[in-house]
Structure 1
Amino acid sequence: MRVILIVFVLCITNLMFSQDYKFGKVSKEELKETVCSIDSTANAAFLYKFRRTYYEYIKDEGFVLKTDIHERIKFYNQEGFDYATKQVRLYNGSGGEEKISNLKAYTYNIEKGKVVSEKLSKDDIFKSEANKYSNSVKFTMPNIKPGSVIEFKYQINSPYWSNVDEFIFQHDIPIKKLEAEFDVPEYYNFKVNTKGFLSVVPEVENKNGVIRFVDKSRSQIGGTVYDNSEIAYYRQVSKYHLQDIPALKEEPFVNSINNYRSSAKYELSYTKFPNSQIETYSTTWEDVVDRVYQSSNFGDELKKTAYFQSDIDALVGSVSGAEEKMAMIFDYVKSQVKWNGYYGFYADDVKKAYKSHAGSSGDINLMLTAMLRYAGLNANPVLVSTRTHGVPLFPTREGYNYVVTWVRLPNDKVALLDATDKYSVPNILPLRALNWQGRIVAENGGYGVIDLYPKNKSENSVTMMAKIDEEGALEGSYRSIKTNHRALSFRNSYNEADKDDFLEKLENRYNGIEISDYTVKNDMDLSKPIQESYKFNKESQVDIIGEKMYFSPLFHLRTKENPFKLEKREFPVDFGYPSLTSFRVILSIPEGYKIESTPESVALALPDNLGSFSYMVKGGGRNIQVMVETQINESIISPIYYEVLKEYFNTFIQKEAEQIVLTKV
């Protein structure tokens, strides 16, 4: 009996691991599952995720790149329904258009004890232009319910044989089984770069391949003669087999969660075809920078000056100071050419962008660089990967998607400029560009590395004068001064918003506070800090119990929630820029009350001068003064400090929540 039981268990185990993932073979067991076996909190999960990318030889075209996709997804509740919509990006450039084919998709449910399927209708597949360089194919699966399973497969055909999309091994929902394969002919040499915290090692083997040619000709005696020939070659096949992959969940203060997502990126290093010389692509950073600079859409655009010469001569012809010239040209480009929202470090057409007053980040900042050089300044473009694009850890052109301008001024001063944001000032780049390091592309392809994160603190200094009445209502005035990135962020949100809508959102942020006499100074004067002021009134700000009043002296301004909730964090904490926030509250208490107790003053410091917090309350007569200051001194804090950073936030949040007690005289 014991032997029979062991055999039975082994059979069950083998069945579990030999799940049939053949397309269309969705089981009742998969549909009946109510909780994900590897993550009970998951709203959805990939039951199976398959990808094969390979090359196929086509006569008169050569090798073309193909990718086969097959995915099966389970929904446990409505919160997972976002995964019922699939969007496929297809690149569309000068070399042709990527195309999707053989799309099949079904939704599976159990009805009356049977597995039923519903096919995706062709009318529910939508193709649109995502941006100038890519199209989008989007579809949403029909008849989705908690418990449903969807399955789809398709093929992508690409003329861009050198650009292999990243193999993604981790999503924000778990994956039960993943299989991936990259099959490449010997003529292409790719290097693989992996990232993330999963152990991802492929099985690599060489296999034989053959290209068959059939040539037709007319014989001298009539009829058609067929001449068959073959070329044998080997293929390198890399296979990935992964199971029970945990979800990668979004966390606060991460530059891009994609930087930590487990993946493998294959990038072409060189090609070697029969009877041809080796052609290198991006073996080193020097290769990368040289290829970028040699492009007609980069280096050549920096040399064009005829379209702007007369305008720049008139603008700075009488100016001799380098810093003044830089500021004038920077402001001129910001005012003349509007960013169209397209990312990229190559220019489309700088002359056209200048004449039409709109262009991509490449157009605008390469134009800015060319103008600065023409005016005699030492200026170079800087390749940047935006925060959402990730960090280029290895030599790669694809790792960059943006460009800014670097200027060296007298006395060894350096300025970073980005003219895509009209509220940006020197060395205050938009947040999207604050992502580790940029790569300076000097003339003739030389390069250097520069830290993109700012060193100067962005400040928000708040003064609030208020009084409490006998009913516990709070009335007073608020004034804040914002500098650097705090000012940049405010200008973008305030100047581009409907003012009534902006004010309504501000009142809602503070739970229905009534605001009047709202004013902003220096919203368009970028040389000065933002000054924001208003009067306010808010009821029920004090707890009245018997003859005592209880309240937190920061009221609606205090921090109420710790953004760091995980027990452990693998990623750096990226604040974007160093900051200083200070509050000075001057408070009058109602007549007939006296101060019974106030919170004790405290000063905290993070290790290695990473940050600090100070809190002080002074009271006398009917007046209370509160001074609070929080500083974060580094843009990025290593995860080794996560526990102490989390505790630091907990401590000052608890401190700000402590109450002042008033009692009737």
Structure 2
Amino acid sequence: MKIRILLLSLSVSFISNGQNYKFGKVSKEELMEKISPLDSSASAAYLYKYRRTHIEYRQGQGFYIETDVHQRIKIYTKEGFGYATKSINLHVSNNENEEVVGLKAYTYNLDDDKIVETKLEKDGVFETQESKYRNQQKFTMPNLKEGSVIEFKYTINSPFYWNVENFEFQHAIPVKELYAVFETPEYFNFKINPKGFLRVTPRQERGSGKILFSDKVRGGGGMSGAGLSGPTITTYTNTSVDFVKYSTYYTFKDVPALKDEPFVNNIDNYRSAVKYELSYTSFPQSPFKYYSTTWEDVVKTIYDSSAFGNELEKTGYFEDEVDALVASVSNPMEKAALIYHFVKSKVKWNRYYGKYTDDGVKKAYQTKTGNVAEINLMLTAMLRYVGLNANPVLISTRNNGIPLFPTLDGYNYVIAAIESPEGVILLDATNEYGTPNVLPLRTLNWEGRIVREDKSSSTINLYPKQKSQDKLTMMVNLTSVGGLEGSIRSIKTNHHAMTYRKRYLETDHDQYLEDLENKYGGMEIEEFSVKNENDLSKPVMESYKFSIESQADVIDDKIYFSPLFFLRSKENPFKLEKREFPIDFSYPSSIKYMVIVNLPEGYKVESIPEPAAMVLPENLGGFKYNLEARGTNIQIIVDTEINEAIISPIYYDALKAYFSKLVEKESEQIVLTKV
């Protein structure tokens, strides 16, 4: 098997054999441990994590994949109780499903220096249907306390031998010891794709295996020479086939926790893990069958599927309505806009992802509901029908990770793209509040792959270039007791507008106002108004009047306050000394505050903060901070920009300093004194 090893920065030593990890052999030392020796801040830790995944042959059913799991976890604090709930995802497809067998689980506690074990009973195990593709079995360990050790083991039997769940070596809590093995007969060749920051150095062995077959043969029962029927005789013939078995072993000790950080796309992208993907099969007396080895293979396989490429060829179900829709329009982009809005209003998303259709585009059109593929392949077909150069774009959503290697499983979503001399326009008709090139956040995940009719493909950047703007104007009267009365007006564009519309339009309006008042600490709002909430071609505008108390400190004859009041940035989101992950802001943005403060009668300005400006390297962003006292009022303008959706970690120190300076400036106070 071919192995690609990433250039990684952290080495992990091999497991020692001193500790007894036989199931049920929990020690007093483990129960008495108060903090993790690997990480004193850890709420829990894996003491032992075992997994063996192996492909077997079952007579009458064929090959299947079996995964044996054994985990022992130490719970240090209440914050670690979540690790005592285990959810096992089970795939379902074509009337076949995965199942959990042999579940055994215990919670161990110390009571008067004695180890007390509590068994997980059957009534503590639940199975639910999460979707038509996935069931879930869940259990929560009983009698949980701070200091408990929990232990469970089970086996997953799966008919989907080509679908190997990722081997994960790193988690949000430390791992004391880990042992994993993958075993496969010679008939299956898997690509091994590692990722993460741990050095993955597997050990491989070649061994032998045997498949046993038992054939039942019935004989006798005919007429004997004496004219009597003889007995029926059943005989069994056993045969066997020898094969070469390949085993890959992974052993780790003292694996550090992988801790999430602000503005990380998906922390799972950086988790140390290995993904296995079936490359080809080679059975005796059968030709090689290839699955995926290059991006060209992947694209061809997807496009040739009847649930993808064939769906793009179907037009009869929409032709009459689309012809009528664009009959009076000649401009291609105007046609595109009409079709885009038509599909969004015609077919609602059923919340299922997928690069393949389930029931097909025609049925989705008729029932007015469909999955991602049905809606966006339908959109692509309509755009092509009216003469536009439209093609589907395969995407891996944020929660699905980044496909670093050619893989069929890497893509789980599809959108539409129009290629024109002016550039590429990306469209997702599942996104009710989206506009051209304003995709939902779930799809903003590095690069997609545009697939053309000739089955060629190329990558395309999914992140927008145009900034999302948020301009807020606040005019307030500051009272002599430190309260504010005034008005706010904000204008939002692109992703800022999309996010606002989703939050506002999908929330009860009374609840929305209550949440807004609570956000700013007891604000009272009146004359609330929103414009263009349903007109996606225009910026969304929000305005209201408000009053709020305790926004300034009144001490003797002086008043102290931050110029931005409740709008100011209160803390730097970047606190770590160093960072290895890219900083993902999702999209470029510009936020501008303009605040005019009318002073209370009888007060004048004693001091105001100095203006400031800061620019990030490579024009990645910057801020400007200006104040000006004008007799009875003060004008404050704060303008911040992040010009790139993704910023490399090599600029982390500069970005950390940028936010530190911004927080510092916005915290500086204006001082008023009585005249």
Normalised by the size of structure 2, how large is the TM-score?
A: 0.95
For 1:377, the equivalent position in structure 2 comes to: 388
Structure 1 stretches of at least 4 aligned residues deviating more than 3 Å after TM superposition: 14-17, 218-228
1:514 to 496, 506, 524: 524
Separation of aligned partners in 1, 2:475 and 2:233: 101
Indicate the SS of the match to 1:445. coil
Contact 1:46 1:71 in 2 (8 A): yes
Q: What letter is aligned with 2:272? A: S
Separation of aligned partners in 2, 1:499 and 1:629: 30
For 2:407, the equivalent position in structure 1 comes to: 396
How far residue 124 of structure 1 moved from its aligned partner, in angstroms, is 1.3
2:647 to 608, 629, 637: 637
Q: What letter is aligned with 1:586? A: I
Query: Structure 1, residues 163-222: CA drift from partner, whole Å, max 9, x if none?
Result: 111001111111111111000111111111111111111111111111122323346797
How far residue 391 of structure 1 moved from its aligned partner, in angstroms, is 0.5
Answer yes or no: is 1:163 the counterpart of 2:163: yes
Query: Structure 1, residues 72-106: CA drift from partner, whole Å, max 9, x if none?
Result: 11111111001111111100012611111111111
Query: Within 5 A, what are the aligned runs for 1:137-148?
Result: 137-148=137-148
Identical pairs, percent: 58
Indicate the SS of the match to 2:301. helix
Separation of aligned partners in 1, 2:668 and 2:116: 59
Separation of aligned partners in 1, 2:568 and 2:84: 40
Answer yes or no: is 1:253 the counterpart of 2:266: no
Separation of aligned partners in 1, 2:236 and 2:424: 69
Tell me the C-alpha RMSD between the 2 structures. 1.5
Separation of aligned partners in 2, 1:654 and 1:521: 35
Query: Structure 1, residues 364-413: CA drift from partner, whole Å, max 9, x if none?
Result: 1111111111222111111111111111000011111111111123x333
Indicate the SS of the match to 2:340. helix
Contact 1:45 1:176 in 2 (8 A): yes
Separation of aligned partners in 2, 1:340 and 1:447: 28
How far residue 16 of structure 1 moved from its aligned partner, in angstroms, is 8.1
How far residue 587 of structure 1 moved from its aligned partner, in angstroms, is 1.3
Indicate the SS of the match to 1:508. helix
Contact 1:293 1:444 in 2 (8 A): no
How far residue 17 of structure 1 moved from its aligned partner, in angstroms, is 4.7
For 1:61, the equivalent position in structure 2 comes to: 61
Contact 1:551 1:660 in 2 (8 A): yes
Q: What letter is aligned with 1:597? A: S
For 1:298, the equivalent position in structure 2 comes to: 308
Q: What letter is aligned with 2:291? A: Y
Query: Structure 1, residues 559-614: CA drift from partner, whole Å, max 9, x if none?
Result: 11111111111100000000000011111111211111111111100001000110
Q: What letter is aligned with 1:211? A: I
Unmatched segments (≥5 aa) in structure 1 = 1-13
Contact 1:95 1:160 in 2 (8 A): no
Unmatched segments (≥5 aa) in structure 2 = 1-13, 221-229
Q: What letter is aligned with 1:45? A: A
Query: Structure 1, residues 15-65: CA drift from partner, whole Å, max 9, x if none?
Result: 985111111111111111111111111111111111110011111222211
Contact 2:15 2:252 in 1 (8 A): no
For 1:52, the equivalent position in structure 2 comes to: 52
Query: Structure 1, residues 297-331: CA drift from partner, whole Å, max 9, x if none?
Result: 11111111122122111211232211111111110
For 1:589, the equivalent position in structure 2 comes to: 599
Indicate the SS of the match to 1:250. coil
Answer yes or no: is 1:477 the counterpart of 2:487: yes
Separation of aligned partners in 1, 2:183 and 2:344: 47
Answer yes or no: is 1:447 the counterpart of 2:460: no
Q: What letter is aligned with 2:419? A: R
For 2:18, the equivalent position in structure 1 comes to: 18
For 1:353, the equivalent position in structure 2 comes to: 364
Separation of aligned partners in 1, 2:582 and 2:621: 15
Query: Within 5 A, what are the aligned runs for 1:163-312?
Result: 163-218=163-218, 223-312=233-322
For 2:90, the equivalent position in structure 1 comes to: 90
Separation of aligned partners in 1, 2:604 and 2:218: 112
Q: What letter is aligned with 2:41? A: T
Separation of aligned partners in 2, 1:491 and 1:195: 37
Separation of aligned partners in 1, 2:606 and 2:345: 58
Contact 2:15 2:178 in 1 (8 A): no
Contact 1:95 1:159 in 2 (8 A): no
Separation of aligned partners in 2, 1:39 and 1:641: 27
Contact 1:177 1:243 in 2 (8 A): yes
For 1:3, the equivalent position in structure 2 comes to: none
Q: What letter is aligned with 2:216? A: K
For 1:540, the equivalent position in structure 2 comes to: 550
The alpha-carbon distance between structure 1 residues 237 and 546, as it changes in their structure 2 partners (threshold 3 A), is: same
How far residue 467 of structure 1 moved from its aligned partner, in angstroms, is 1.3
Answer yes or no: is 1:331 the counterpart of 2:341: yes
For 2:40, the equivalent position in structure 1 comes to: 40
